[in-house]
């Protein structure tokens, strides 16, 4: 059963997949029609070959420039910096942002041995420097955890000489949430990020 063990160990490499779930996926492969599995394997290969990173923002894209960077209706002087491409999808769903993005592909993490040079920070500085109409604001939307905060502080110090306005997204209490159920971290950020009403 060598090939069965191999497929289980391959599924285990997927994020959030434990041994039980990997086994369930492998069983599905065994039970499914051959054509279904052949289509899956062909599509996986095509996705890897056709989808590259946008040369400006490093979001995944089938074109050289992604649909957001090439959209002339978007404010190209307003850049929202995120850790991962999927963060863009989340913000786009909210339909509240008309600027463009920059994907770092990670965060600075002293504990995991990831420095500023292992994420797309140099590329961001170059992009700001060559931007034809300049950059009016950088919004730092890295995750509200230790690595995201370290990255945000680093970016603020690095970019303040290039960009007139640098902001950090506010963290708050989720809508429909109860204040007495919030953890201290969320509450303290919500307090600090308070706005005038
Ligand atoms: Zn792009």
Å from CA of 176 to ligand 1 middle? 34
Å from CA of 137 to ligand 1 middle? 17
Å from CA of 81 to ligand 1 middle? 12
Lowest mean pLDDT among 48-57, 113-122, 129-138, 180-189: 180-189
User: In whole angstroms, how far apart are CA 167 and each of 53, 54, 79, 147?
Assistant: 25, 24, 10, 17
Q: Ligand 1 being an ion, which residues bring their Cβ within 5 A of it?
A: 54, 56-57, 59, 66, 69
Q: Which residues pair with 82 in a beta bridge?
A: 103
pLDDT tens digits for range 141-191: 999 889 999 999 999 999 999 999 999 998 888 888 788 888 888 888 888
In sequence order, what DSSP letters do the residues of 24-39 get, joined into one string?
A: HHHHHHHHS-HHHHHH
Domain ranges of the chain: 2-50, 73-171+185-190
2-50 classified as CATH 1.20.1540.10: no
Å from CA of 191 to ligand 1 middle? 34
Rounded Cα distance, 156 and 105, in Å: 18
Å from CA of 65 to ligand 1 middle? 5
Going by C-alpha positions, the residue among 132, 133, 127, 73 that lies closest to residue 102 is: 127
pLDDT given for residue 65 in this prediction: 96
pLDDT at 1 over 80: no
Rounded Cα distance, 167 and 96, in Å: 16
Å from CA of 119 to ligand 1 middle? 16
Å from CA of 45 to ligand 1 middle? 23
pLDDT at 20 over 90: yes
pTM (two decimals): 0.83
Å from CA of 52 to ligand 1 middle? 11
Å from CA of 68 to ligand 1 middle? 6
Å from CA of 54 to ligand 1 middle? 5
Q: What share of the chain is helix, strand, coil (3-state, %, to 5)?
A: 45, 15, 40
Question: What DSSP designation does 109 have?
Answer: B
* Domains 2-50 and 73-171+185-190 are alike in CATH topology: no
pLDDT tens digits for range 74-87: 999 999 999 999 99
Helix, strand, or coil (residue 164): coil
Å from CA of 113 to ligand 1 middle? 28
Å from CA of 59 to ligand 1 middle? 5
73-171+185-190 classified as CATH 3.20.20.140: no
């Amino acid at each position: 059963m060598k090939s069965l063990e191999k497929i289980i160990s391959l599924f285990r490499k997927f994020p959030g997949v434990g041994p039980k779930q990997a086994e369930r996926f492998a069983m599905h492969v065994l039970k499914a029609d051959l054509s279904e599995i052949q289509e899956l394997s062909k599509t996986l290969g095509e996705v890897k070959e056709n989808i590259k990173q946008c040369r400006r923002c490093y979001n995944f894209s089938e074109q050289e420039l992604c649909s957001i960077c090439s959209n002339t209706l978007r404010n190209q002087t307003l850049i929202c910096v995120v850790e991962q491409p999927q963060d863009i999808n989340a913000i786009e769903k909210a339909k509240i942002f008309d600027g463009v993005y920059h994907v770092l592909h990670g965060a600075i993490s002293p504990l995991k041995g990831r420095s500023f040079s292992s994420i797309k920070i140099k590329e961001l500085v170059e992009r700001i420097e060559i931007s034809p109409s300049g950059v009016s604001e950088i919004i730092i939307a890295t995750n509200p955890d230790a690595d995201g905060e370290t990255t945000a502080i680093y970016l603020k110090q690095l970019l303040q000489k290039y960009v007139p306005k640098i902001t950090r997204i506010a963290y708050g209490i989720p809508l429909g949430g109860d204040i007495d159920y919030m953890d201290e971290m969320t509450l303290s950020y919500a307090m600090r990020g308070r706005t005038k009403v």
